[in-house]
C-alpha cells in the first residue's frame, strides 16, 4: 500500500472533508430554514415590542387627558405602567440567551402582556369584565402583520386571551351591561378577525417556505454546475470565461509537463469486455486524479489510456518540477497497489519535460483547457520513447531535480522529430542530507 507523508495526509484529509461538505450541503441548507425563521422571529419581536411601547405611551397620555378625576388618572396610569413594564421585559428577554432559545414563549408573553394583563388589571380595579375586543383585535392584527410566522402561535395567543376572559368571568360572575345581541356581534367580529389573522399567517409562511425551497434548489443547482465546470476547467480559467467568454491564451515561461501511458492496456482490450476495460481504466485514472489533487497538479486530459498533467499553471509556482516528480513516483506506487489488489500486470511509462508553454481555451463548444508548445511535445516524446515502468525526464527537468532526487543517466537517445536528446530515469527521492 502507499504510505503518504504527514503533509500528504493533511492534504488528503482536507480533500475528504471537501467531498463530505458537498454531500452535506443539501442537509445544511434545509436545516438552515428553521434557523432563519427563528432569527426573523426574534428581530420582529423586538420591533413589535418597540411599537407597542410607543403605542402604550400614546394611550396612557390619552386616558390621562380624557379622565377629569384624579383617581381615574391614577388608575389609567397604573394599568398603563404595568402593561408597559411587561412589554419592556419581553423586549429585554429577546436580547438574552433565553429569548434566543425560546422565542415562541416571548411571542406569547408579548401578546398576553397587552390582552390578558389589561383584562386582569381592569377586573381587579373596577370589577369590569366587558370584552376589550378593540384592544384584542389591534394586538392580533399587529402580530399577524409584523410577525407572520408560526400560525399555531397566533392561534394559541388568541385562545389564551379568550380563556383568560372566560376564567375571569366565571370568577367574578358580573352582571352583563349590554344585551346578548351585542356580545354575539362582538364575538363574531372577534372570531373572524382571529380566523383571518391565523389564515393569512399560514398562507404567508407556506409561501415563504416554498420560496426558500426554490431558492435552495437553485443554489444547489448552481453549486452542482460550478463543481461540474471546475471539473472541466481550472478555477481561474472558469472565472475568466464566466466574466468574458472569449479565447483565453496565456504564456508561461516555465512549467513541468507529465505524460503517462499504461503499458499493456491495448493488448488487454483484445481479450476483455468493453465494460470491464472501461471500469479498470476508470479506477486507475481516479487514482491518478486523487494524486493530482493531493499534490496540487493540474490534470489536462486523458487520451485513450494516456494521462496528461502539468504543474506551474494556471497558478504559477517555483517547485513545479518537484511536484510532478512526486506525483510520478506516486503513480508508480498506485499502479503497483492496483495490480496487487486486482491481479493485473500493468506497468506505467511516464515522460516529463520542463520549459515554456502556452495554455488556454479555444473554440466555441466543448471547452477544454489545453497546452501547446515544444515542452508539451518533448514530454510526449519522453513518454513514447521511455521504458515501461520508468519515469524518463529531459535535461531541463534533470537540472532542476538532480540535488533532491536520485537519477540514472540513460544517455543520448534518438527522439522522433527532435534528434538526439540526453535523458535520465527518475528513481526516487534523495533522502540523504
Which domains are delineated in the chain? Answer: 27-223 (no CATH), 239-429 (3.30.70.1230)
Which CA distances in Å does 135 have to 113, 131, 223, 350? Answer: 12, 9, 50, 84
Half-sphere exposure of 341 (CA within 13 A, CB side): 11
Condensed to tens digits (0 to 9), the pLDDT of residues 380-408 reads 999 989 899 899 999 999 999 988 999 99
What's the pTM?
Answer: 0.56
Q: Rounded distance, CA 153 to CA 166, Å?
A: 20
List Cβ neighbours of 63 (8 Å cut-off, separation of 6 or more).
Answer: 72, 73, 76, 77, 80
Q: Is 307 helix (H, G, I), strand (E, B) or coil?
A: strand
pLDDT in tens, 59-84: 888 888 888 788 878 888 888 888 88
Query: How far is residue 158's CA from residue 194's CA, in Å, rounded to a whole number?
Result: 7
Q: State the DSSP string of 192-249.
A: HHHHHHHHHHHHHHHHHHHHHHHHHHHHHHHHHHHHHHHHHS-HHHHHHHHH--S-EE
Q: DSSP string covering 81-112, please?
A: HHHHHHHHHHHHHHTSHHHHH-HHHHHHHHHH
* Cell numbers given for 79: 394599568
At 135, list the grid cell. 384592544
- Three-state DSSP at 349 gives strand
H or E element: which one contains 15?
helix 6-66
Rounded Cα distance between 249 and 25, Å, is: 35
pLDDT for 424 equals 93
Q: How far apart are CA 227 and CA 391, in angstroms?
A: 32
Q: Which helix (H) or strand (E) is 404 found in, with range?
A: none
Report d(CA 144, CA 151) in Å as an integer.
9
Please tell me the predicted confidence (pLDDT) of residue 383: 92
287 CB-near residues (< 8 Å, 6+ apart): 331, 334, 338
pLDDT of residue 275: 84
Residues of the chain short of pLDDT 50, as ranges, are 1-20, 22
Q: How far apart are CA 127 and CA 123, in angstroms?
A: 4
Amino acid at each position: 500500500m502507499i504510505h503518504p507523508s504527514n503533509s500528504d495526509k493533511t492534504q488528503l484529509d482536507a480533500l475528504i472533508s471537501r467531498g463530505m461538505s458537498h454531500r452535506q450541503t443539501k442537509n445544511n441548507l434545509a436545516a438552515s430554514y428553521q434557523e432563519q425563521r427563528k432569527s426573523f422571529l426574534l428581530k420582529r419581536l423586538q420591533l413589535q415590542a418597540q411599537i407597542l411601547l410607543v403605542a402604550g405611551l400614546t394611550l396612557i397620555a390619552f386616558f390621562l387627558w380624557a379622565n377629569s378625576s384624579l383617581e381615574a388618572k391614577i388608575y389609567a396610569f397604573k394599568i398603563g405602567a404595568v402593561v408597559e413594564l411587561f412589554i419592556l421585559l419581553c423586549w429585554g428577554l429577546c436580547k438574552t440567551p433565553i429569548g434566543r432559545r425560546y422565542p415562541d414563549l416571548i411571542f406569547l408573553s408579548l401578546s398576553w402582556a397587552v390582552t390578558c394583563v389589561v383584562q386582569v388589571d381592569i377586573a381587579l380595579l373596577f370589577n369590569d369584565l366587558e370584552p376589550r375586543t378593540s384592544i384584542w383585535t389591534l394586538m392580533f392584527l399587529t402580530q399577524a402583520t409584523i410577525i407572520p410566522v408560526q400560525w399555531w402561535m397566533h392561534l394559541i395567543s388568541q385562545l389564551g386571551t379568550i380563556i383568560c376572559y372566560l376564567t375571569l368571568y366565571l370568577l367574578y360572575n358580573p352582571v352583563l351591561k349590554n344585551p346578548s345581541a351585542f356580545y354575539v356581534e362582538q364575538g363574531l367580529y372577534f372570531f373572524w378577525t382571529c380566523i383571518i389573522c391565523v389564515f393569512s399567517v399560514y398562507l404567508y409562511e407556506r409561501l415563504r417556505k416554498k420560496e426558500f425551497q426554490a431558492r435552495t434548489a437553485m443554489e444547489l443547482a448552481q453549486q452542482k454546475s460550478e463543481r461540474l465546470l471546475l471539473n472541466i476547467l481550472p478555477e481561474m480559467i472558469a472565472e475568466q470565461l464566466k466574466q468574458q467568454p472569449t479565447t483565453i491564451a496565456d504564456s508561461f515561461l516555465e512549467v513541468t509537463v507529465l505524460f503517462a501511458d499504461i503499458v499493456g492496456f491495448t493488448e488487454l482490450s483484445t481479450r476483455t469486455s468493453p465494460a470491464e476495460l472501461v471500469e479498470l481504466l476508470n479506477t486507475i485514472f481516479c487514482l491518478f486524479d486523487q494524486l493530482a489533487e493531493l499534490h496540487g497538479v493540474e490534470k489536462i486530459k486523458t487520451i485513450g489510456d494516456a494521462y496528461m498533467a502539468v504543474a506551474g499553471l494556471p497558478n504559477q509556482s517555483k517547485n513545479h518540477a518537484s511536484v510532478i516528480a512526486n506525483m510520478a513516483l506516486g503513480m508508480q506506487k498506485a499502479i503497483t497497489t492496483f495490480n496487487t489488489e486486482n491481479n493485473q500486470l500493468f506497468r506505467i511509462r511516464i515522460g516529463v519535460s520542463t520549459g515554456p508553454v502556452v495554455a488556454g481555451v479555444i473554440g466555441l463548444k466543448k471547452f477544454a483547457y489545453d497546452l501547446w508548445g515544444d515542452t508539451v511535445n518533448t514530454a510526449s516524446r519522453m513518454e513514447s520513447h521511455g521504458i515501461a515502468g520508468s519515469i524518463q525526464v529531459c535535461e531541463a527537468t534533470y537540472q532542476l531535480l538532480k540535488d533532491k532526487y536520485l537519477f540514472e543517466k540513460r544517455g543520448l537517445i534518438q527522439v522522433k522529430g527532435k534528434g538526439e536528446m540526453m535523458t535520465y530515469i527518475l528513481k526516487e527521492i534523495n533522502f540523504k542530507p
